[in-house]
Structure 1
Amino acid sequence: MDRRQFLESVALLGAAAGVMPAALNGCSPAGGKGWRGKFDENLVCIISDLHTNPGSYQPEKLKRVVADILAMNPRPRNVITLGDNAYLTGKDEEYALLKEILAPLDGSGIVFTMAHGNHDRRENFVKFFPEQVASSALPDRLVHVVETPRADLIVLDSLQEPEDTTTWITPGALDDAQRAWLEERLNATTGKPVFVMSHHPIDEVKINALLTGSPTCCGYIHGHDHVWRTDWIKKSYGSRRIVRTLCVPSTGHWGDIGYTLLRMEEDRAVATLHEYEYFFPEPAQPDEPKPAEWAAIEADHKGVACTFVYPR
């Protein structure tokens, strides 16, 4: 059973809860109890670096994001989180709180797909999000393909868990099984553009050649750095082939704070930053003035976007 079949079966089983299967094109009818809006099948919301920390400020900032997603009309059919779902070392209480915060998305008609970051721990994660593991394309890793009418999004697992579970500073990497699976998937072209995503920057996962060598890959999107940053990778100095890369913000830990909307159009996809604020290393207190540098970054980031042109 592939991911689409799995989600369709879940949708059928959960029809009484208002979960509706995705339509083939454009905006689809309402989903979720008491909600009468529509879904945009070509709109994806990307969030990252949630760092769910019970008793601190991060959870409230994530609740703001969830509320804004549910207030959208049309809603994005898909929401993807690019890892660091837990605060530091993937504790049970962090995942328990995260599940509680994300609960309003259940039954909303939104398909939620999660990735691992270096602050996540597989053994604890699966206790609270077993459906994410059950629908993975590969065993022992969290790998998914999110399908939209105009482009597919491959979500990889770049987590290298340390032997010492109390540490979290580990570089990102893809195991051999993921790398082989990705190469096969990119070579099995369906004619649709493909995005590749994971938690870590592309310099850590080292798949530059796979992406620039693919005739359908149009972009690489990641988290980890808590900033909005666009860049690109090249196939070689003698080739015009490039692939754009995008780092998306944190929902509320430090750095650029917000979420990203990726809208698939006919010949391109446009990622738009929705930034609430900027702070480092933590938010200013209510009685403190906002540093001028923070305000300048917020002003610079109003309405910024990154365009991914589909390969021809």
Structure 2
Amino acid sequence: MAPPPSKERATGAPAGASITRRTFLRGLVGFAGAAALEPWLLGARVWAADGGNVLSPEAPPGEGSAGAEEKAAGALWNEELVTVGADRMAVSWVTDAPGETALWLGERPEEMRRYAWGDRTRHHLAEVEGLAPDTRYVYRVETDGTVGPLNSFRTLPKPPGTRRLRLGWIADSHLAAGSGAGDLNQRYLGKLTDAAPTLLERALDDLMRKGVDAIIHAGDLTDTAHPDEYRAFQTIVAPYAARVPFAAVPGNHDKYRRKTGGIGEAGFREAIGDTLPRLLDLGAATVILLDSARPDDDWGWIPSASLAWLNRTLNETAGRPTFIVLHHPANGMDLWFGTTNFFALQAVIAKHPHVVGVLSGHMHRNFISLARHGDGTLPYIELPATVQFPNGYGLIDLYDGGYVYTSHKISAIDLSERSREAVLKGLNDAYVLYTLGGPGDRNLSYDAGRRTAVRQSGFAVVAVVELTRLFTLLKERIGAAFSVAAAEAANLRRLVFGRFATREEAERRRAELAAVLPFSLAVKEETGGSLPRSL
């Protein structure tokens, strides 16, 4: 647990730390993100990666040439607002030296209050709970007086009724014995097989701290299906499974035999003790677990017998909110070995409007596609891996009339950044966009009665400049805070001057900055580097 937050009164933001060429280059890896929000009145619960909460209010930072923005330009890296739900948010960022984790939050910039934790770290993760649904917030991050750009966002609407269930969801832990499978993800795209046990355990800790009622694993428990990997999985999961219901489906890696010398499905059955397909009764909802994996085959497939069983079971559970979990994505042919007979699966699902979501892993990314079934919309949600950037897990809050889904980073931002940096240079920018996804790939509110979904959106004010010019801007302290992202060429960098809930807000900010900045600015809608949303 974190120590109590600092109670010191802010006296103004000190000058940002000086930035050397070496410091700057170390901070440029990956995608820089940000958006904004605040606690509802003073009742919000705010907590850091290691569990700290109650924070102290301070005075807001100034703006303009005499304020904190001038002193903070370019000193915060990889600022990413990952989570925005109906009542919660989570933001992460990185600094070159250890410092304080702090958030400025308020309904308007002039009313922002400062909330801070005492722990000093380079890898910052702050989470806020207790926010008001469907409400606009503004926010900015700060470390030791250096602040990021001002941003805005709107929380998701809450579905009708009372919350009945909180479901935790993880995928693709890829526990590895020895050197692992040696696949493309491991060699070129930042899969941290050596840190897989730590990341799995931290994800489970995070979910338990959030008070989940059950945990589902969407497959690829192991990397090679080696007996030692299954034993390691059992050892890690057992204490959590003793506290809440735990269930899993196998992934393609869990059925490796010839490819890796693993023991395949026999190991999964021994580790989990389940025969699939099966139904998990959680009282307020039903979870149906399907096996989409076949031995030594990376493509997904649902056997006809399983589809017939699914249809019968859905008939028996009619009227009760039902989630379907399988390893392979099932809303269109995907880039990386999806479910090949997804049409047959969707034909069954379309008969049963009480199915409220289809959950999968496999692709190691945040992605939500919406399928039209009858007169309604159904979300197909893909979750990133615990073992690979952004190193995440999912949370589903089920209400009487629907649910809210949010994606979260594991509280191990040092490992998340290590995964980001391990991506093959030249692919980093595109791959991070792909795996992190856009705001609407990470957060969703679903009204089960109307069968409609509301997703997050975001608009960024950006400029693309040459690297040499950026050093000049940092030296001159241009009077506007920004974060830095990789751009499409090695000699270019994307400067982000804020992220906003609506295009109108972003355009207003662009016009304000255009009067004082010596280069052109654009407003870009933020989306992930993804395929079409449905086929």
TM-score, normalization: structure 1? 0.70
Alignment of 1:49 with 2:172, yes or no, is: yes
Alignment of 1:97 with 2:232, yes or no, is: yes
Corresponding residue for residue 209 of structure 2 = 71
Question: 1:76 aligns to what SS in structure 2?
Answer: coil
Amino acid across the alignment from 1:85 = L
Amino acid across the alignment from 2:226 = K
How many Å separate the matches in 1 of 2:366 and 2:287? 19
Corresponding residue for residue 363 of structure 2 = 225
Matches within 5 A, 1:148-187: 148-162=282-296, 169-187=297-315
Q: Matched residues, percent identical?
A: 24
Amino acid across the alignment from 1:259 = Y
CA gap of 1:187–1:100, structure 2 versus 1, over 3 A, is same
Question: 1:243 aligns to what SS in structure 2?
Answer: strand
CA gap of 1:281–1:213, structure 2 versus 1, over 3 A, is farther
Once the two structures are superposed, what CA deviation does each residue of 1:274-304 show, in whole Å capped at 9, x if it has no partner?
A: 124696994537xxxxx67788776965994
Question: 2:396 aligns to what SS in structure 1?
Answer: strand
Once the two structures are superposed, what CA deviation does each residue of 1:74-118 show, in whole Å capped at 9, x if it has no partner?
A: x2121000000011x3110111111122132143x2111011110
CA gap of 1:194–1:70, structure 2 versus 1, over 3 A, is closer
- Contact kept? 1:215, 1:311, Cα under 8 Å: no
Once the two structures are superposed, what CA deviation does each residue of 1:225-272 show, in whole Å capped at 9, x if it has no partner?
A: 01111111123xxx53331111011111x2431110111011011111
- Contact kept? 2:391, 2:409, Cα under 8 Å: yes
Among 125, 129, 145, which residue is 2:268 paired with?
A: 125
Question: 1:284 aligns to what SS in structure 2?
Answer: helix
Amino acid across the alignment from 2:307 = R
Question: 1:57 aligns to what SS in structure 2?
Answer: helix
User: Aligned-pair distance for 1:43?
Assistant: 0.7
- Contact kept? 2:169, 2:217, Cα under 8 Å: yes
- Contact kept? 2:366, 2:442, Cα under 8 Å: no
Amino acid across the alignment from 1:125 = F
Question: 2:394 aligns to what SS in structure 1?
Answer: strand
- Contact kept? 2:250, 2:268, Cα under 8 Å: no
- Contact kept? 1:212, 1:242, Cα under 8 Å: no
How many Å separate the matches in 2 of 1:84 and 1:200? 10
Once the two structures are superposed, what CA deviation does each residue of 1:176-215 show, in whole Å capped at 9, x if it has no partner?
A: 2211000111223432122211001114151111112213
CA gap of 1:116–1:280, structure 2 versus 1, over 3 A, is farther
Corresponding residue for residue 309 of structure 1 = 447
How many Å separate the matches in 2 of 1:303 and 1:216? 22
- Contact kept? 1:200, 1:223, Cα under 8 Å: yes
How many Å separate the matches in 2 of 1:258 and 1:152? 24
Corresponding residue for residue 392 of structure 2 = 258
Which structure: greater strand fraction? 2
Corresponding residue for residue 85 of structure 1 = 221
Corresponding residue for residue 4 of structure 1 = none
Question: 1:103 aligns to what SS in structure 2?
Answer: helix
How many Å separate the matches in 2 of 1:247 and 1:295? 16
Among 262, 284, 306, which residue is 2:421 paired with?
A: 284
- Contact kept? 1:86, 1:119, Cα under 8 Å: yes
CA gap of 1:144–1:308, structure 2 versus 1, over 3 A, is farther
Corresponding residue for residue 353 of structure 2 = 215
Once the two structures are superposed, what CA deviation does each residue of 1:52-73 show, in whole Å capped at 9, x if it has no partner?
A: 124612111112112223333x
How many Å separate the matches in 1 of 2:322 and 2:251? 21
CA gap of 1:151–1:309, structure 2 versus 1, over 3 A, is farther
How many Å separate the matches in 2 of 1:225 and 1:58? 17
How many Å separate the matches in 1 of 2:437 and 2:328? 27
Amino acid across the alignment from 1:231 = S
- Contact kept? 1:43, 1:263, Cα under 8 Å: yes
How many Å separate the matches in 1 of 2:349 and 2:227? 36
Structure with the greater alpha carbon radius of gyration: 2
TM-score, normalization: structure 2? 0.42
CA gap of 1:298–1:196, structure 2 versus 1, over 3 A, is closer
Question: 2:314 aligns to what SS in structure 1?
Answer: helix
Once the two structures are superposed, what CA deviation does each residue of 1:141-180 show, in whole Å capped at 9, x if it has no partner?
A: x223222343212111111113xxxxxx521111122110
CA gap of 1:175–1:67, structure 2 versus 1, over 3 A, is same
- Contact kept? 1:113, 1:144, Cα under 8 Å: no
- Contact kept? 1:47, 1:250, Cα under 8 Å: yes
Q: Which runs of 5+ in 2 are unaligned?
A: 1-162, 179-193, 255-263, 333-338, 423-427, 451-535
How many Å separate the matches in 1 of 2:360 and 2:284? 20
Amino acid across the alignment from 1:217 = V
- Contact kept? 2:385, 2:391, Cα under 8 Å: yes
Among 312, 321, 334, which residue is 1:193 paired with?
A: 321
Amino acid across the alignment from 2:247 = T
How many Å separate the matches in 2 of 1:229 and 1:302? 8
How many Å separate the matches in 2 of 1:260 and 1:210? 25
Corresponding residue for residue 268 of structure 1 = 402
Question: 2:253 aligns to what SS in structure 1?
Answer: coil
Say what the alpha-carbon RMSD is for the aligned residues.
3.0
User: Aligned-pair distance for 1:307?
Assistant: 2.2
How many Å separate the matches in 2 of 1:170 and 1:245? 20
